[in-house]
Amino acid sequence: MLCLASGAAINAAMGPCVGKTGSEHALLQEIIESVETGDIVLADRYYCAYLLIALLRARCADVVFQQQQRRLVDFRRGTRLGTRDHVVEWTKPLLRPGWLDQALYDSLPATQWVREVHVNAKVLVTT
């Protein structure tokens, strides 16, 4: 985890190359306490997932991620803010990933609102 303003390393996590404890999501879970109220987490589309966004919101942080290629974006849905710009409701996945314990999964909201905006041929997701 790096500070965008200074480039300083804030925290890091390392794990095995295989298995559920070695995924990037699991490693982020280990250092998520470094995220503070008011922080903005900027990451690539690998991190654009309901559960990670909910975990970061629980820490009162905001996010800016590129939308994953698997998630369909329909700008006709949600609350329209402009051309190719809207707020939509996402639903928590039914299956809990192995890196997230049951109690924490249960504490996350069933739905959350995110903004999807088309910028320079990419769809960005932000809180």
Q: What is the pLDDT of residues 61-101, one digit of tens each?
A: 999 999 998 888 999 999 999 999 999 999 999 999 888 88
Chain-centroid distance of CA 14 in Å reads 20
Q: What is the mean pLDDT of residues 10-24?
A: 74
What SS3 class is residue 70? coil
Is the whole-model pTM more than 0.75? Answer: yes
- pLDDT for 22 equals 60
Tokens of 26: 């699991």
- pLDDT for 69 equals 86
- pLDDT for 106 equals 96
Q: Is the pLDDT of residue 17 over 80?
A: no
